[in-house]
Amino acid sequence: MTQAEALTIPAHIHGYPEIVFGGYLAGLLAAEAGGDTVRVDFRRAVMVGTPIRLSSPAGGRAAFTATDDTLLVEATPSVLTLDPRPTPSWTAAKSAVELALSGDRTVTDCYGCGLGCAPGRGLRLFPSELPGTRMMAAAWTPDAGLADETGELPPEIVWSALDCPGGRAAFVFSEMGSGAFTAALTATQLRPMYAGADYISHAWVIARDGRKHTVGVALSTADGELCALSEALWIEPRQG
């Protein structure tokens, strides 16, 4: 993308209905902001099918704005001091997926965890609780439809995979209320990730302060080598 280039996010890339999946937007901006670690702040909801503009001012900052120049999302270079929790085994992560798929799913079309998404049209990343750990985990083998022409997962896919599992962890372990959303996402990618390769996702709660929930998410190879790491702030809507 170039400075002030306009784009429209396709309708299937959503979390809540009609709202663009936050991790996807964050990954697009992170690629423009540069730097090893980037923080993305979500200022307003971005609707699917609505034109938005990219701008990349000096200093590594990148932003999405509405066509009337209203700031929607911005990214800046940052640091991440988070220590990831130990990666679960591939066997445990596969068991977590089996547990996630064994019950009724109330959300089936979320770009991150929707079972109704066709391969390549969603991540199909299905985290569930690992007994006795207070972590969510999932085994994940990305579909080729998510990768670029070389087979590598682009930043918007990696950042998407670093978003949704943290929300699941907060809902399960931090009693986060319905309607909560990602307010900020800080992440770093340590090594390339590829379609067809096996990965382990795990997520945990770091802290809670009223309506604010801080979570961590890690992506690792099936052998436990860390690929990407994020810390996110989720916020519950005000009551009433």
Residue ranges and CATH numbers for the domains of the chain are 6-77 (3.10.129.10), 90-235 (3.10.129.10)
The full length of the chain comes to 240
pLDDT at residue 2 in the model:
44
Give 172-192 pLDDT, tens digit per residue: 999 999 999 999 999 999 999
Q: What is the pTM of this model?
A: 0.95
pLDDT tens digits, one per residue of 70-97: 999 999 999 999 999 999 999 999 999 9
Q: What tokens does 173 get?
A: 């372990």
What does DSSP assign to residue 144?
Answer: G
Burial class for 205, CB neighbours closer than 10 Å (0-12, 13-18, 19+): buried
Q: Give dist(CA 126, CA 237) in Å, integer.
A: 25
